[in-house]
Amino acid sequence: MPLRTYYTCVHSSAQRAAQEWPHTRRAEKEELVNGTTRASAHSINHFALNVRDLAEALRFVTAFGLVGRQMTGEIALTTAHDDHLWARLIGASATSLGYMSFGCAAGDLDALRRQALAAGAPMASPAPGAGTGGFWIADPDGNLLQVKPAVSTQPTSKTALPDGSVPAGVAGVGGRSGAKRVTPQRLSHVLLFTPDVERMICFYQRALGLNLSDRSADIIAFMHAPHGCDHHLIAFAKSSAKGWHHSSWDVPRVEDVGLGAMQMRKAGYGEQWGVGRHVLGSNYFDYVRDNGGAWWEYSCHIDYVPAGMQWVAGDHPPEDSFYLWGPDVPPTFIENTEAVASNQTSPMDAS
């Protein structure tokens, strides 16, 4: 499928109006123009992903270079570099988002709760096993969100790419057998399918105080926290239904992206897209698909928005939004398995 079809789906104004939730966009724009200062979540603390086969999920994440710890009915996911719980993989009938847990400063919690209520978010019960810290809400797509005081998981500055150059007279590469196993350092971001990208932008601005980084029409949008953050910690892509697309994991070198791709092919996970370089976010990438249909991204050197900086959000033409270079996009990369499962046809799939 040509890339262009990914971006040519459009949302009718009638459909959009029917899904207006819960405030008018005019009110949203007025508030933004007036420069209302909002409290903001600063990072994704962790996420819960429902998976069909826990044993297979453990095999996948281990091959990917993460650390999975088998618990009763779930896998606790950390990196090889620290003990932070980045994800819970929970046994279920199919892949879907369980919940997203956002971290905030303790002093911002009450303001965030007020913002969420003002944005019309219904309060929700905590997910089983997730604890009771902070508060729980649902976003316009019905995704379950937790907001809780936590230490930020975002870096405080952009890490420079290591200088891989070597002087004349020195071999730049040792033996292939000596290549180190790739072990991602941290979660960078997640991407969700949504039936209404605009509605999600409005909600995450109003309720969680996130800022728009860049977008391409109503097809895809990227959002960051204003406290110092990767170009995006959450992104939304247009589909006919909500759904989980990918989680992205930071590695320090471009070479780690390539080595990770090889590491996964060697482990039997050959359904990939990459190696390449994105335009919006600028990161080098390789995506690997697990057996449940979810994508996992090795990401390197993503753009960074320093604390307090006003990143100028662009609305980019589709042909200049996706990737600078890389292999052709495999058709399955834009497949929303949750839409397929519910017998709904994605506009992206149908176009």
Q: Which residues of this protein are in contact with Fe ion, per CB under 5 A?
A: 248, 297
- Report angle CA 211, 98, 132 to the nearest 5 degrees: 85
Shorter beta-carbon distance to Fe ion: residue 248 or 336: 248
| Least distance from Fe ion to the Cβ atom of residue 321, Å | 13
Cβ-in-10-Å burial (0-12, 13-18, 19+) of 343 comes to exposed
By beta carbon distance, the residue nearest Fe ion is 248
For residue 330 the two structure tokens come to 């495999």
Residues in the chain: 351
State the nearest-atom distance from the C-beta of 229 to Fe ion, in Å: 14
Strand order, beta sheet including 295-300: 314-315, 211-216, 220-224, 234-238, 186-194, 243-250, 295-300, 284-289, 272-278, 323-325
Specify the residue, 79 or 247, whose C-beta has the smaller distance to Fe ion: 247
Fill in the DSSP letter of residue 123. Answer: B
Q: State which residue, 148 or 215, has the beta carbon closest to Fe ion.
A: 215
CB of 64 to Fe ion, least distance (A): 14
The minimum distance between CB 248 and Fe ion, in angstroms, equals 4
**b/e map of 110-125 (b: 16 or more CB within 10 Å)?**
ebbbebbeebebeebe
The least distance separating Fe ion from the CB of residue 53, rounded to whole angstroms, comes to 24
Residue type for position 165: S
CB of 123 to Fe ion, least distance (A): 30
**C-beta closer to Fe ion: residue 40 or 248:** 248
Q: Closest CB to Fe ion among 96 and 248?
A: 248
Order of strands across the sheet with 43-51? Answer: 67-71, 74-78, 87-91, 43-51, 96-104, 144-149, 135-138
SS3 readout for 49-64: EEECCHHHHHHHHHHH
Structure tokens at 50: 């429902």
Q: Which is nearer to Fe ion, 242 or 246 (CB)?
A: 246
Min separation Cβ 162 and Fe ion, Å: 21
Query: How far apart, in whole angstroms, are the C-alpha atoms of residue 32 and residue 37?
Result: 9
**Which regions of 11-153 does DSSP assign to beta strands (E)?**
43-51, 67-71, 74-78, 87-91, 96-104, 135-138, 144-149
Taking the least distance from each CB to Fe ion, the nearer of 269 and 322 is: 322
